[in-house]
Amino acid sequence: MATVTLSTSIQPRSPKGAFVNEPFVDFKNPENARDMQQALALVAAQLGREYDLVIGGHRIRTEGKIKSINPARPAQVVGIHQKAGAEHAEQAMQAALAAFQTWSRTSVGDRVSLLLGAAEIIRKRKLEFAAWLTYEVGKNWAEADADVAETIDFLEFYSREALRLAESTTPIQLPGERNQLLYVPLGVGAVIPPWNFPFAIMAGMTLASIVTGNTVVLKPSSDSPTIAAKFVDVLEEAGMPPGVVNFCPGSGATFGDAIVKHPKTRFVAFTGSKAVGLDIHEQAAKTQPGQIWIKRTILEMGGKDSIVVCADADLDAAADGIVAAAFGFSGQKCSACSRAIIEAPVYQILEEKIRERVAKLTIADPATNANMGPVINKSAIDSILGYIETGKKEGRLIAGGNAVANEDGGYFIEPTVIADVAPDAVISQEEIFGPVLALIKVENFEEGLAVANNTEYGLTGALYTNDRARLDHARLEFHVGNLYFNRKCTGAMVGAHPFGGFNMSGTDSKGGGPDYLLLFTQAKSVAEKL
């Protein structure tokens, strides 16, 4: 099989040394803060521009448009995007299939070179990309920087993992034979990312697909297509051939369904709500005329995450962790703490510590670097306020509970804490995806663990205790994909915390882990008699 070399000015690169996570920016440093303000000004001058579909390297405009807006200032248009319809699904598929013929035969070294080149580009413009996240989805500086850093981590980590996978061999070499185990690409994949990590998760699923030799139809969220367009620009600058990633914002009900159902779609990588994920899983399971494989689904679908606090815990550390995990990015993380489960002897003490910390949180336009910015859109604010009204009937409101009036019409909600909530209450069971925290009192650790396990989800969880026996018991019986001891349940780091959940939280795909790339390949055993 011939090897195809990238036609690019960027010279082939190889990872130097072991993987190291990209460091976060310290915005307490006045110089860094000034640089971020300059990046925000740079991006502000580019708001409102129009972006094309990119199919097979061709720029396409459509009659229908998608407007991406700033949720802190809904009158401010971040970007105008073409709206791909069902009719564009076939175009995108054909472009991806054509590109697959050469990209799948491109050397792993050259594919890795592209990722490392993209990492260099993003690293040099790190604060610029962070500024786009601030405007498009309302992330404050630290949250935006973490999103960009994770994107760089995925580029670097998956590069090393692709090289490692290419060196795989069989456990046994039979005498008289040459035995090989090859991990070959699947084909064309649909990548459907969420709006809440519109750079890192979008890039991570796309990068895992292409570094293993697949080609992609990328349908970003309609709330965050601009950062995805910027990412595709980076890949093109790094030397990506036409058709390897086809950029197609569009409706999930039209374009999204068409590409999921297409008989030539080999896999679907999705992060988002349980309802949409299950629908994708069901549609992908139906064999279409002309389909010759079982489609693979790689799904991450949210959580109802708990932090359990025992009476022997460091209560100040627990309060800090709970508040950070519940209200970082206004609770719009699938890993966010939405339930604090607290042993009775320290319940009132910890309730007060949480209330005091929440009272100090600032809420404002994230461009000013407040603790909390807006929720993503009007639909989200209506849904979250509805859950708060339900919660007021199910428990005792101790903080927040209201939308925040502002002259720009931004979608701001106060950080809300509701105490004395029953384990089976609506706000204890349903994913709210906003700044709402339920406090649940339990009599002991065993009851607390049972409550933590009582939802249909199983994504993240945390336990605060100094009791080794309890930690060891939770290690086995706290049923989540990402478990943390004596720290918050958000902030998974690539390489250290492979990320993915159990039950209705998804297929436990463990993004950022050593087995993630296997999901985008199939193993081929080759035996040659000598």
Catalytic positions:
300, 334
Residue 210: closest CA among 294, 117, 74? 117
In angstroms, the Cα distances linking 35 to 30, 31, 283, 366 are 9, 6, 46, 16
Query: For residues 441 and 419, what is the distance between their CA atoms, to the nearest angstrom?
Result: 9
CB distance 342 to 298 below 8 Å = no
| Distance in angstroms between the alpha carbons of the first and the last residue of the chain | 20
Beta bridge partner(s), residue 66: 81
CB distance 239 to 117 below 8 Å = yes
Residue 339: closest CA among 272, 414, 424? 424
Query: For residues 45 and 388, what is the distance between their CA atoms, to the nearest angstrom?
Result: 37
In sequence order, which residues have a C-beta less than 8 Å from that of residue 211 and are 6 or more positions away?
Answer: 108, 111, 112, 115, 158, 159, 162, 517
- Helix ranges (H only) for 328-377 are 347-359
The two structure tokens encoding residue 243: 């058709």
- Residue 490 burial (10 A CB sphere; 0-12, 13-18, 19+): buried
**Residue 366 CB neighbours (<10 A):** 29
Residue 250: closest CA among 95, 91, 96? 91
Query: For residues 334 and 303, what is the distance between their CA atoms, to the nearest angstrom?
Result: 5
- Residue 102 burial (10 A CB sphere; 0-12, 13-18, 19+): middle
Beta bridge partner(s), residue 485: 463
Residue 53: closest CA among 246, 220, 260? 246
Beta bridge partner(s), residue 188: 215, 265
Query: For residues 180 and 195, what is the distance between their CA atoms, to the nearest angstrom?
Result: 41
Query: For residues 232 and 224, what is the distance between their CA atoms, to the nearest angstrom?
Result: 13
Residue 43, H or E segment: helix 30-44
Query: For residues 112 and 12, what is the distance between their CA atoms, to the nearest angstrom?
Result: 8
Question: Do the bridges between strand 396-399 and strand 436-442 make them parallel or antiparallel, or are there none, so unpaired?
Answer: unpaired
Longest CA–CA span in the chain (Å) reads: 78
Query: For residues 318 and 372, what is the distance between their CA atoms, to the nearest angstrom?
Result: 20
Residue 52: closest CA among 235, 233, 243? 233
